[in-house]
């Protein structure tokens, strides 16, 4: 297992053969995309931030640090923690591509989810978009 087993991809980019297990982590389906276009293995809707947190954040970079703190608290809830554990198990043996819809590739829930999975794998998260090890 390497940190490159965790990959981030916008829902508006075409799936790649090397994506491995593709999981959408938004509560809301990406506008204008079909199931066939996304080629998902799973939609982890409950891993997305709560509606209240998502609306409060509004993808404002100035709120990023506080968003991460609040979102990590949400991800610590037992059902969400179990879902993260399951993704970490998949990433131990193959690639996991975390699919998200946000335009901002640096300040979004997929970054936090990738960091949480990396922690479970004992890999230092990078916080960069793309692969967790920063390529």
Q: What does the pLDDT look like over 2-17, one tens digit per residue?
A: 457 999 999 999 999 9
pTM: 0.88
CA distance 36 to 52: 30
Assigned domain for 12 exists: yes
Assigned domain for 41 exists: yes
Assigned domain for 130 exists: no
Phi/psi of residue 123, each to 5°? -110, 135
Mean pLDDT, all residues of the chain: 90
The number of domains in the chain is 1
CA distance 79 to 107: 24
Assigned domain for 11 exists: yes
Assigned domain for 128 exists: no
Assigned domain for 126 exists: no
Q: What's the domain range around 42?
A: 3-121
Assigned domain for 13 exists: yes
Q: Is the pLDDT of residue 32 over 50?
A: yes
pLDDT in the model for residue 3: 59
Place of tokens 């998902």: 40
């Amino acid at each position: 297992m390497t940190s490159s087993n965790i990959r981030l991809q916008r829902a508006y980019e075409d799936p790649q053969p090397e994506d491995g297990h593709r999981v959408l982590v938004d509560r809301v389906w990406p506008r204008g995309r079909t199931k066939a276009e996304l080629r998902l293995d799973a939609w982890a809707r409950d891993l997305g931030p709560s509606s209240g947190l998502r609306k409060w954040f509004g993808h404002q970079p100035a709120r990023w640090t506080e968003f991460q703190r609040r979102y990590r608290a949400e991800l610590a809830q037992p059902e969400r923690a179990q879902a993260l554990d399951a993704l970490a198990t998949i990433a131990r043996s193959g690639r996991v591509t975390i699919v998200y819809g946000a335009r901002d590739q640096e300040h979004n829930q997929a970054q936090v989810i990738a960091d949480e999975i990396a922690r479970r794998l004992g890999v230092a998260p990078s916080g960069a978009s793309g692969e967790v090890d920063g390529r």
